[in-house]
């Protein structure tokens, strides 16, 4: 029987970003996809400024439109502070298919435990994973088959790690769809500035950073995963 002398606890964070064609320009003439490209450098900065968060957070990134792809494999991309070394290519094209993103998120989370064991970060310690946080950002209504989409979502939320899902809508996102796909302690947020998608995404980056820091602190399992006091009510509405 293996003997463990300590335990390493990781907080998994998975961002899912809409890169469909409507993310090229918002109605103010700004580029939402360029703002999305800032997320990884900001996560890296967060890791450098908060060493404990850097040691305990494992992050991943999925990009989706008509199909989905892994931009940063969760558990295999090193610490947050090392993400600056990753080159992420974002191209806005295609439609908004939630289902393909849900299925890829499930596959990524299922691979996470073994990836961490293979990464060399454990050094003989026992691996412990907190419930993952998945933040999905979209600027429009999903236009894939609703039954297939719902089935993909059920596969994700009923998977072994069963993440908390936060849905964030910017631009022309559908409020009912956002509410439909949050779960557990997740929340659904809708931007109050639909013409300024880039501005909403900038505010969201700040919110994600605060939430990642809070994930490593004392946690009240009866409360939403995002502290409502951190949400800028000039930017986002909490959908009930």
Model pLDDT for residues 121-172, shown as the tens digit of each residue: 777 788 888 889 999 999 988 999 999 999 999 999 999 888 999 999 998 8
Q: Where are the domains of the chain?
A: 7-239
How confident is the model over 78-92, as pLDDT tens digits? 889 988 877 788 899
Which pLDDT band, with edges at 50, 70 and 90, does 1 fall under?
Answer: very low
Fold of 7-239: Rossmann fold (3.40.50)
Q: CB–CB of 123/5 below 8 Å? A: no
Q: Helical H runs in the chain?
A: 32-36, 39-49, 51-56, 98-118, 146-157, 175-180, 197-215
DSSP 74-85: TTSS--GGGGGG
pTM of the model: 0.92
Q: How far, in Å, CA of 112 to CA of 166, rounded?
A: 19
How far is the C-alpha of 59 from the C-alpha of 57, rounded, in Å?
A: 6
Residue 224: pLDDT over 50: yes
CB atoms within 10 A of CB 52: 11
What percentage of the chain carries pLDDT values higher than 90? 45
């Amino acid at each position: 029987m293996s003997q463990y002398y300590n335990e390493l606890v990781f907080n998994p964070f998975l961002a899912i970003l809409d890169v469909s064609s409507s993310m090229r320009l918002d109605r103010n003439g700004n580029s939402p996809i360029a703002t999305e490209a800032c997320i990884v450098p900001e996560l890296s900065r967060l890791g450098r400024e908060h060493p404990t968060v850097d040691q305990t957070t494992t992050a991943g990134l999925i990009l989706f439109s008509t199909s989905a792809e892994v931009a940063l494999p969760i558990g295999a991309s090193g610490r947050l502070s090392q993400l600056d070394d990753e080159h992420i290519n974002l191209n806005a094209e295609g439609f908004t298919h939630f289902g393909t993103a849900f299925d890829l998120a499930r596959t990524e989370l299922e691979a996470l435990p073994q990836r961490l064991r293979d990464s060399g970060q454990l050094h003989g310690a026992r691996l412990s994973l907190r419930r993952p946080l998945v933040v999905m950002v979209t600027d429009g209504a999903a236009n894939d088959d609703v039954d297939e989409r719902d089935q993909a979502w059920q596969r994700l939320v009923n998977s072994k790690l069963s993440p908390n899902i936060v849905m964030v809508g910017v631009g022309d996102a559908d409020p009912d769809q956002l509410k439909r796909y949050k779960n557990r302690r997740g929340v659904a947020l809708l931007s109050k500035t639909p013409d300024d998608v880039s501005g909403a995404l900038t505010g969201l980056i700040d919110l994600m950073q605060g939430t990642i820091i809070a994930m490593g602190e004392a946690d009240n399992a009866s409360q939403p995963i995002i502290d409502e006091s951190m949400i800028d009510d000039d930017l986002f509405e909490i959908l009930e």
